[in-house]
Structure 1
Amino acid sequence: MNSTLLLKKLYKRNLQPVLTDLKFAIALLLIIALFSITGTVIEQGETLDFYEANYPLHPALFGFLSYKVILAIGLNHVYSTWWFLSILVLFGTSLIACTFSRQLPMLKVARRWSHYTRAKSFEKLPLSTALEGRSLDQLAPVLAQKGYRLFQTDDKLYARKGLVGRIGPIIVHASMILILLGAIGGALTGFVAQEMIPSGQTFAITNITEAGIWARPWLPKDWLVRVNRFWIDYTPGGTIDQFYSDLSVLDKDGNEVDRKTIHVNEPLRYKGVTLYQANWDVAAIRFQVNQSPIIQLPMTKLQDVNNKAKAWGTWLPTKPDLSAGVTLITPDLQGTFLIYGTDGQLMDTIRVGGSSEINGVTVKLKDVIGSTGLQIKADPGVPIVYAGFGLLMLGVVMSYVSYSQIWALQVGDRLYVGGKTNRAQVGFEAELLEIIDRMAGSTPSLSAV
């Protein structure tokens, strides 16, 4: 019991002033924003070769940012690093501490009501006036019409409206905590996978590139994905317009339970897992030599010395003993292949469906098979984050509602009226003048402190 009291005292004396400090919360928010920007600028979840090629040691970006720094700090997976999650937890703790030590007590005070019992007390209000020949019975109906909630005794009245404006900041804090919980939950339970699958093949999601420590329950176990077809639409100029994948989700018995043709920005979602169209490749060619059965050969991706131009190639044998052959190269999936001899000279061009005489044999090109590159993600925290943002918008709107209070005291034939608001002071003054004006008689002036 004594240790519990000691901890409470230490918290209130040392931790609470820091956690509830607005400057501290703003500093944490700026740090989170900074590292979030870093995680957006620096590509996340790529291979070591990618970072070595794009962030070399010499010259290092900005003189210090090399692949070694990125990998050592964890800037290649910012949002799941221990230090980023720790900052989120610390920021969430600050919000919770501020909510319970400031926002909730402020709401509790706002819900309380009390009457002014002395005329001199009205001098302390920002707006006040004294009305001759007026009564509470004239004032109360007007306040009720304006949406005020009334607390009245024989000669005293208290009215308020806009209590929702006091609840708004609490909703904002709760929504931000919800967003943080969703982000942390997603980092701990989500995963990212990448697959390069040829048309016609069925695959299980196994190539996990990044996963949270509690991601195992979300990994697909009882369903597979089949790539029914992959194709690319090209513009008249020969550039890629869009690439598509016709995907089917199969249960453990091989039955189709879902199907969708995906393209960039139009993914397939199933059981919390999202499959995005991300890349493509040339997987293989199918051909026939004279009257032989159809043969399938894999294609290999080639690059120039600057790692810019794309091309795919394969060696095609023209003799059964593999003693002779040619090289086929294609830059895309449009179906045109260049044929090079062993001396490196261009011998011919061939399109899918066509044939060519090579080394005394007829080679018929039957088909070119493309592979779809899929990026697969599961983030169970996304619905929580979306709910948090929805609640945040609601809380911001509520926070703009003015919390207004009006007091009145009847002393003989004189009625003292005064009030205050937390925002929109000019509008409140105009409303108070209108309320007084709607009472019988002429409009007196308001005294403002």
Structure 2
Amino acid sequence: MRPLQRLAGWISDLRLAIGLLLLIAIASGIGTAIPQKEEEAFYHHLYDPNPWLGVLQGEGVLRLQLDHVYSSSWFLGLLAWLGLSLILCSWRRQWPALQASLRWIDYRTPRQLSKLSVAETLVTDQPGAGLERLEAELRGGGWQIRRQDDRLAARRGVLGRVGPLLVHAGMVVLMVGAAWGALGGQRLERFLAPGRELELLDSRGRTQVTLALDDFRIQRDPAGRPEQFSSSLRLIPPPAEAQEDPRAAAPASTAAAISVNHPLRYRGMTLYQADWSLATISLQLGRSPVLELPLQSFPQLGDQIWGLVLPTRPDGSDPVLLSLTSEQGPVQVFGPDGVALAQLVPGGAAQEVKGLPIRVASVLPASGILLKRDPGVPLVYSGFAIALAGGALSLVATRQLWAIADARAGQLHVGGLCNRNLTAFAGELPALLQGLESAPVEATRA
């Protein structure tokens, strides 16, 4: 039994809890510095040429699970360890302290009061009347009183003893919510072009909601750099009624808008405006109808460069590369040797490239939407609220006071304890006794 008690004492040690909090804070900083939950190739591309902190390459980042810090086994282990430490600390220390503060302690002799942190003695001809005046004064100040014939016990601010327990409970609830969100949460990022729809399915393959993008806008500064992205969405609920009854009307959609730093919360999901891309380019080749062709990114050519390889002959030979950096253009045309052949403006006139007239009708941008579902968010917010409430209650000082009337010696002995700001309490007690000495007995009895 003793080894278990020693282990419990070590786990519930305050220094260990502080060390765990420091490690969790450092790990959270690492999770902020390193992009999370990207493809493996992303980390090799980012950290193989330039190791993180000059030490870790992409393989090291993946091996240490730094690509998903908050759901890694070692981070969840730290949370579990800290939670166990807080639970044991509450069970071994805070709960007994609360129970002790709720029990009335009956001091019967002046000698017992003299050993308290604050003790005073008032010499009076009528110690019993002084005890009555003290009782009335304390009751008027909101103290709880337990009165005996020649003595009393009083206390105030016992609720403050609940504060540390609530702080620990709130932190445990917060960590449970964080772990639940890391393990059970979902994260999905998709690029959606205007006029397209995206069905979101639950774990059973049933449609939760259909996300339709009506419009996507990019606001740019005078230099052409993007400043803000915004998407106009329609959220269409699943057609459950239509499946049961073919004659049922289609479910009504909900219009919404998202932009950077202005997400949308819908049925437990959060939709963020995360990024943007170029989806398609509309081309007219000679006298052909307008063709809508998909664009792809070319990271080897630079950041945010899109394009496509277009053959200029019916047999698919003699290709050219069309590249652009924004939906406003211009569209650069390069030959196989990398020589610039033409520059096309969306909506402008056609230009001849290797004998083939090419006109760019338009370029369609795509909205990068990030969808997150975190089932632990209610617990995280609840944990914060509980911890804040506990912190506020912890500021309430718990005061205890005892008084004994000694009729033979003509003395009123008063002593007290206080868990916070003992200096102020020590100054209040003499002032309280002076007030009792100056107050008339008849007025108090009336």
Q: Same fold (TM over 0.5)?
A: yes
Contact 1:314 1:328 in 2 (8 A): yes
Q: Which amino acid aligns with 2:349?
A: S
From 111, 116, 122, give the equivalent of 2:102: 111
Any conservation in 2 of the 1:348–1:356 contact (CA below 8 Å)?
Answer: no
Cα offset for 1:302? 2.3
Q: State the SS of the aligned residue for 1:293.
A: coil
Does residue 347 of structure 2 align to residue 353 of structure 1? yes
Equivalent residue for 1:314? 308
Paired residues in the alignment total: 422
Distance 1:197 1:343, change over 3 A: same
2:5 aligned with 1:13: yes
Q: Which residue of 1 aligns with 2:58?
A: 67
1:399-447, Cα deviation, whole Å (9 max, x unpaired):
11111111100011321111121111222123223322322329xxxxx
Change (3 A) 1:286 1:109: same
1:6-405 equivalence runs, <5 A: 9=1, 12-56=4-48, 60-62=51-53, 64-133=55-124, 134=127, 135-205=130-200, 216=203, 221-253=207-239, 255-304=251-300, 308-317=302-311, 320-323=314-317, 326-341=320-335, 344-359=338-353, 362-405=357-400
Query: Is the Cα contact below 8 Å between 2:200 and 2:209 reproduced in 1?
Result: no
Indicate conservation of the 8 Å contact 1:355/1:362, yes or no: no
In structure 2, C-alpha distance between the alignment counterparts of 1:30 and 1:341, rounded to whole Å: 57
| Shift in alpha-carbon separation, 1:199–1:388, aligned structure 2, 3 A | same
CA distance in 2, matches of 1:23, 1:357: 74
| SS at structure 1 position matched to 2:253 | strand
Q: What is the distance in 2 between the residues matched to 1:271 and 1:46? A: 26
Residue 290 (structure 1) shift = 4.5
- More displaced stretch, 107-116 vs 79-88: 79-88
Report the residue type matching 2:229 in the other structure.
Answer: F
Q: CA deviation at 1:313?
A: 1.9
Q: 1:130 to 1:433 in 2, by over 3 A?
A: closer
Relative to the length of structure 1, the TM-score reads 0.87
CA distance in 2, matches of 1:129, 1:47: 72
For 1:94-122, what per-residue CA distance to the aligned partner results, in whole angstroms no more than 9, with x for missing partners? 21111122111111100111232111122
Separation in 1 of the partners of 2:86 and 2:368? 42
Contact 2:285 2:356 in 1 (8 A): yes
Secondary structure of residue in 1 paired with 2:363: strand
Question: Is residue 421 of structure 1 aligned with residue 418 of structure 2?
Answer: yes
Q: Which secondary structure state, in structure 2, belongs to the residue aligned with residue 310 of structure 1?
A: coil
Worse-matched range after superposition: 13-22 or 401-410: 13-22
**Unaligned stretches of 5+ in structure 1?**
1-8, 207-214, 443-449
Would the aligned equivalents of 1:403 and 1:422 in 2 still touch at CA under 8 Å? yes
Query: Structure 2 CA distance, aligned partners of 1:105 and 1:424?
Result: 22
Task: Give the TM-score of the pair, scaled to structure 2.
Answer: 0.87
State the AA in 1 paired with 2:117.
Answer: P
Does the 8 Å contact 2:228/2:260 carry over to 1?
Answer: yes
Tell me the amino acid that sits aligned with residue 425 of structure 2.
F
Return the offset for 1:251.
Answer: 2.5
Residues 69 and 435 of structure 1, relative CA distance in 2, 3 Å threshold: same
Cα separation, 2, equivalents of 1:21 and 1:341: 71
Superposed displacement of residue 342, structure 1: 5.7
Three-state SS of the structure 1 residue aligned to 2:328 is: coil
Question: Structure 2: where are the runs of 5+ without partners?
Answer: 240-249, 440-446
DSSP-derived class of the 1:440 partner: helix
* Percent of aligned positions that are identical: 34
Q: Does the C-alpha gap of structure 1 residues 72 and 165 become closer, same or farther in structure 2, counting only changes over 3 Å?
A: same
The AA in structure 2 aligned to 1:298 is P
Compared CA separation, residues 47 and 25, structure 1 to 2 (3 A): same
